[in-house]
Structure formats: structure tokens, C-alpha cells
Structure 1
Amino acid sequence: MADTIRVLLVDDEAYVIDALKRHIHWNELGMKVVGEAYDGQQGIEKTLQLNPDCIITDITMPQLDGISMIEQLYQMNSHPYFLIYTGYDDFDYAKKALSYGVSDYILKPALPEEFEAPLEAICNRIREEQIRIIELNRLQKDFEESKQQLFQPFLDELLEGRILTYEQFARKDQFFSSMLAEKEYVVIGVHLENSQDAFAELEMKQQLYALYRINSLVLSLIPGTVYSPGFRSNTAYFLCADQTDSYSLDQLVGLCTRILDFCNKIDDLNLTVRIGISDIVHSFEEISTAFSQTQICIRESLDNEVMQYTNHCMKGSSCPPLSWIFDKDQLIDAILIGNILAAQQLLEKFFSHVSRLPAPQDIYLTPLLSELIGATTVSLLQHGIQYDSKAFSLVVQKHSTIHEAQIHVNEYIQSLIGSIQSRELAKNYQIVHRMIGFTKEHFSEGITLTEIADQLQFTPNYLSTLFAKSMGTSFSQYLAKLRIYKAKELLDSGKYKVYEVGDMVGYKNPEYFTKVFKEFVGTTPSAYAK
């Protein structure tokens, strides 16, 4: 049932208000008189108090006339619908009233039925507006729910170091209103060993509820803004952000000890727990470093232990720095594509992490550089790309400072990119030609770019970029065009049904085949076959 439309009557003559209340069929219109005022000033006060949907008002009134009342309410950003009922027959006043959105203008005296059409029109407009508001609220709710679904991938990107520039980070942070920019960060991980009989014997609903309680406790205990993708494979990671110098490691260890105690006692399940705490980092680029530190702590901690990364390393543990601060394939792709900026950003991230390792840092630097540059060089050699042996030897030698090492590594990477860019484009076209040959041979098998990359021993990202540069179209578009071209040939033969053709060209879903076919041909396969 539609909400009753609330009406305020404003007139300096009481008998007019009384007549309106008695002679107009308010219930039939779905309206209700909620208040009355006897001049414009009272009209403003009643409007602010009662928030009516519609106001029926006179023009000529003491203290404040009807037009001035409407004007002041308009300036106060109050926009009920107005119906003027007046004996003041002045076109200039009527024109001014209409400029403030007045719905209609009725001259006194008037019969009750003369109000029916204007009031019905107002009711219809109000109800249409109410429906629009409900729909907008629903869309806003759906949008917010969609944002929440998209937020998890954003959180994963942060933890895994897949956001390379501050601009990307700030833009997504603003979109999600996550308030992560310009903060200090720490990553906490909680790992549960659920092999205990008591936990394993619980129903799935009870297990999930126990995990939910643990997750909620962490979110409530840790200060600042805390986000988590929840438990995955019995481990939950929490990205914690707060104002600079807000966190202290001693405080975090104390809070995590309380979390550990809660997990041990929850529902007498005797859960075995490991909790890892990263170092406190001060830029979004280092969040992935903190994430990896936490993973190391969880991996190397004992059962029912809280381990903090730096304290662990200081005790002489075999705790290595990160195996990688980023995926090596990212650096290799940047070199192959010739993206110097991306390569430099990745290296900056690498050296930023090394500079924050416990002293003495040189015990980490040489083996890390050897692994980084060695793996990169071997991969490039597999692609037939030669390297400068003199530059290579400068990189892997022992450096006196991190800054010196960074200079040599940057020079080496730039020499590799220069070597690649100076080579003839025939190499690229040869790779693309192999991609096309493999695609034409296997297009009916549901192949993917990842499978082709495995066959040619390149990364999918590199092949995707190379193909687009060489062919002027994406690989997915090329594959779709090839399949639709073959589909048209098969349909032209008249030997096969539509679903058979779709299957023969690699589309196992008939509906999806129809959708793609129509995008390229402009009609459905069935219509084309006729």
C-alpha cells in the first residue's frame, strides 16, 4: 500500500482552511492534512517541523506572503509540492510562483471538484518520485554489495603486491572508501590446525561459526582500520592500517596473545593456533612485504605461538627474507615488453625491502641479487636473448652499499631492454606466427592463452601484449573471429545443426556460441543458417 501523502494548509483565513479540510475527499486521494498555518512564517515553521509532501497556500497573508514563504523554503533546500489557492489574480505573482516549482494555481472561490485534478496530478508525481527513490536506494544497495565483492580482489592485490603505482592504489582506495592511503600498515595472520577430533566432528555450520567468532574478535581488538578476506585453508590474514606511529609491536604481540588464548579456549575445541605478525611498514608498496613476513612467521612458528617477524630474525632463526617481493615473471615480462618504468618500480620495491631487513643487510643482499638476476637471465636466455657478461658480473659481485647495488642492477636491466629493443621484429613475428599456427590447429578444443604460453614457454601476459602489438587486436578477439569464421563455413555447408557447429568450433555452451556469433555477424546462427 502506498504511503499517505502529507498535506499542510496555509491561509490567514480560518474558514478557508476549515472548508478545505471538510470538503476535499482526502482519503480517496490518499492524502492527509497533517497541519495548518495562518501566515507564511508559521508555514515555514510547520514545514520544518512536519516535513509535508504538499502545501496548499494563499498568497496574501500578514507577516510573510505565500510567495516569499515558498522562496525561503526553496533557499532552505525544502522542496514540497505547492498548490496556490488565492483570490489574488496577478499574473506576475503566478509567474514567479511557477519559477519555484509550484504545481498549479487555483483562484478563490473554487468548488471542491476543482481541486481533484491538480491534487491527483501532485499525488501521481509524488508517488512516481517515491518509486524512483526506492529504485535508486535498491540500485545503491546493489552497487554497495557489488563493491564489497570487488573489494576482496583489491585486498588480494595489495597483499600480493600486484598494484604497482600509487595512483592505482589511491584510485581504488577512494572508490572503495577503504581509508588505507597515507597510513602505516601491519599484517597479522592466524592459522588454525583443524585436525583435532573435536573441531573435525562439528557440523559445517558450527565450524564456520567458530571461524566467524575468531575473525570478529581480531577485527574488534586490533586498533585502526582492519580488513580480512576471511579464513582460507584454515588461515586468515588481516591488513591493519592506522595513523603513523600508532602501532607498537609490543602492543600487537599482547593483543595477538589474547587472540591466541581465545582460540585455545573457544567451545573447548582445543584448537592449535599459530599467529604471525609482520614488521610495521609505512607505504602501500611494502604491504606485500609485510604479508610475506607474516607467511614466514606462520610457517616457522611452533604450535600455539605468537611470532613477530623482526624479533624472530633477531634470535638467529633461519628465517629468510622474502623469497620474492614480487613475482619474477612480472620483471621478466617488463623486460621482454620493454617497459623500463615497470621494471624500475619492481626493482625499487625489491631494494626498499632489502633496506628494511635486520642488520647486517649485506648477508641478504648478495644471495638475493644472485637469485633475482640469475633467474631473470636464465629465463631470457631461454628466449634467445643474450646478456652483457661484464654488466652481469658487476651485479652479482659484493656491493659496499645497497645504493651501489641498485645502480648496477638498473644499468644491467636497461642493457637487457636495450638489447631486446635493438633486435629485429622478425623474432616477435615468429612467436606470433607460432601462436597463430597453434591456435588454428587447436581452436576447436577450447584452448586458452595460458595453454599456448605453456607450449611456447612464455608467460600469458607477455604473449598477450606481444600479440596485440603485432596484430592490432587482442588474442581473445582473434580467437573468437577465427571460430566464428569457421562456424559460418560449417553452417554454409548445411550439414550440421547449430549446436553441433558451436561444439565443433570450441563453444561447448550453445547460448554463449549464439551470443558471440551475433556480436560478429549481426544475427543468430539459426537465422544465418536459413
Structure 2
Amino acid sequence: MYSVLIVDDEPMIREGLKTIINWEEEGYTVIDTASNGREAIEKHHHLNPDLTILDIRMPGLTGLEVIEHLRKEGKKGQFLILSGHADFDYAKKAISFGVGGYLLKPVDEEEMVEELERIKARLDKEQSVKQRNTNEDFFYREHVIESILHGGQVWTAEDVKKYDLYWPSYQVVLIEVYNESSTHMSTEIKKEMTDLLASSKRGIVFTAGKYIGCLLKTPLVTNDERHRFYDETVMTLKRFSSPVYIAAGTGVLHMEEMKTSYNEALHLLEERFFFTEPSVLMRREDYGLSMPIEERGEELQGLDEDKITDTLYYALDIRSKDLLSRVLDHFQQWVLTEDYTEHEIKNMITKIAAVALNKLSLVNSETKLIATEHTAMLSALYQQPTFIALLDTLQLQFSELIQKLGVNSKDTVIKQMIDFIKRNPGDHLKLEVLAEVFNYNSSYLGKLFKNYTGESFNVFLDKVRMEKAKSLLEEGLKVHQVSDQIGYANVDYFHTKFKKYMGISPSAYRDQYKQRQN
């Protein structure tokens, strides 16, 4: 649609022109009206209409004086003159100003439509030429930019000026729309960004591998400028329904330094997995997750992949969302003290989650069904764009799993502990570990446990393990196999414990049981 401004000092004529023509059908839309020449000039400056229809005789500035004034300013729009006087001199002067048409009042609807069609054809032609020239300009300017960034080509000042790239400063901004996008989608994203920058003449859009590049005339320096550019970009690309990540290099004064700005932006965007702030990120900023080693808390000491796996399983087994949150928080802090890549982190957390689910599935048929349902979500972890999104996804999925497992509110902490010990006698259980799992002070938990069971934690654990050992020996397992399965790394220590508990050695117990069965 081409925009139209109607100018006439008579209100009835202004309103009449708006209603007698089906503007949309003719390819136009009336964006405003003006009642005199001064107002027409002001609104033309602000609206920049494609077509201005104006009366030739008005108080103050005449229609011809308005056109003459705008033409001297370099305005290129079309004009259609209306006059109640069939004066050829007016017509000749109007033609000299490049007026698109001249109609007598009262306006005949058919004649008006014919004039609008004729002017539209001219506007279409101008638009086509302008678009072709613009496309050619963009193509050559992109070529210049890409040859500097990737080919190391040096361009002379004359060449740079020829393509309208002789600017006082330059800054490279790179944009990633996180999506399994096709080439077509990348083309659409590039077009949207081109329209955004072209509207304010802020810079040039170019292709930068899997990213979209923007070369800005005026660098984004302040936080407000960067946040504003980020918000504008996200709004422009909203229809793609994908996360948007933006990084910028520092501003430079010379075009040959543009590659430095580009490399800085590229390095930042390659660290996108650790981004936390929704803005345009720049070097020397705390743009992502970090945790200096000297700030590691005591709870991270001795932490490793196996311990995280066990604790994650404990959280699921005892249906504790609080423990789930704590173990994922510890995992995040622990990972940040190491030099892991995005791929390594995703592999690790997926493996940890898979092992925890597998252990949960062995508890009983109910947990097996629920754990199996949630195993399918593991592939979603690889699709998360940032570390925070990865952990949030896992926490959401496992919280839903805990909800499905249900929590028996009548169980005391001690009953949960006893049940947990009986199900997992082979784990390397310690009171300190369970105190962490249940979020209790270990000394206080030990007293609670003894008051409830009449036995210390270690004595109770040994009894549970001995009973488990008896059943495994009855199945015919070898002594070292039983020792390993119930959590004793030292076979001799297990032998001593078992003999003290049963009065005979493990091998003797197994042999006696076998004889009784025969």
C-alpha cells in the first residue's frame, strides 16, 4: 500500500476525498490530512507520504509553494494537484515541479481513479528500480565486508566511499537464533534484520557462517544502548519463536580493524552456553556463569560424577524436591570450577540422569514404569541452548517424576531412612551422607535414629547388610561377590563382620544352606 496525505483548507473536501474513493482497492491508504500549507510541510516531514493530494489555492502557502518548498528539500514523493480554476498557467507551473497529475474541482470519481492508477504505475516502477538498486548496493557492500572479515582483502578509501561504507566508526554484532533452522529460515531472519537496520540507517546486515552479522555505524557503548538493541532484535525476530543470543565486538575507527571486532563477537557467541544476561554481550563483562575455585564451598569438596549420580538417585528415591534442587545446584557450581565444554557438560548430565533413572527403575515395578516414561526426556537435554536452561529442564522433568511417585506424608524421616537403607544396602552409606540427603545435622540425626531403632546407625546398617549377605550367599554367590554387593570393599572385613553376626564364616554358611536344600 502507498501512503497518501490529503491537504485542503475545506474540511468537507478533505473528508469527501477520504470516503468517495476505495483507497485500499486502488493500492493506497490515507495516513493523514492537513488544512493548510504549513501543516502540510510539517506532516510531510514527519510522515514522508508516497502521494500528496493538495489544493492549489489555500490561505498562506499555496499548493504550488508547498511543492516547490518540498522539492528544494529533495523530497521525491508524487503530488496530485486539485484546483477550482482551469488555469493553464497553474498547470504549466505544476508540471515544472514534477507534479504527477492535475484535476479540476469538483473532483469526478472516475477521473480521480484514473489519475490514481496512473500515479500508482509510476510509483510501482520507481519502487522496482529503487529495490533493484538497493539490492545491488547491499550485495556489493556485503561483499566488501565479507572480503575483509574472511579474505583479508584491503580496500582503498575510494572503494569504501563508493559503497557508502566510509564511516567514522564500526562495530560488528553477531546474532544467533537458536533453532534447527533451514537455509530459508536464515534468509528470512537476515531480511528481517535488514529491514530493522535500514529503517534507521544504522548499518549493514551480512552473513557470518551460521550467524547473522550486523556492521553498525555507531557502536553500542552503554548498557541502555545494548539492552535497547537486544529488545528491538528480539521483537523483530519474535515470529521465529526461538531464543535469540547477541554478542558484539568493541567499536573500531578504521575498516581494516573490523576483523578484530568480529573475532571478539565470535568468541563471545561461541560461549553462548554460559550466557545468563538477556542483552548484547561484550568483552570484559561478567556475561555468563562463573565460580572461581577459591570460592568453592565445603559441600563441593570431594564431589565427583559418581557422588552426584548417587545423590540425584537418592533425591528421586526419597521423593525430595529439596535435595533435587541442592544436587543440581552443586553440580552447576562443581562444573564451573572445571574447564568443561558445552558438549562435555551435556554428555555428563545426560549420563548422570540416565544412571539415576536406571537405579530408580530397579526399586519396584511402579518406579520402573515411571522412570521408563521419563527416560525419553533425556534427548531434550541436548537441545537446550544454555547451561541454565539445561538444569531447569532436568529439574522440571525430575520434579514431575517425584510428583508422580508421590510422597507419603505420614512417614517420618527415620522411617524413610530405614526404608532407604534396606533398599540400598550395597551403597557406600554413611550417616554424614544421609544427613546431607535428608538435610539434617548428622549428630542430631544419629540421636534421632538411635532413639527410634534402639541401635546406632552403623549397627543397624551392618545388620541390614548381613541379612542381605545371607540371601545372596543362599543364591550361591561367591564371598567376594557378596562383599562387593553389600558395600564392603575389603573382603576380610566382611568375613569378620559376618562371622561375628552369624557365628560362622560366609563360606560355611553358604555350604550349610546348600546341604540343607539337598
State whether TM-score is above 0.5.
Answer: no
TM-score (normalizing by structure 1): 0.32
TM-score (normalizing by structure 2): 0.33
Answer with 1 or 2: which has the greater Rg: 2
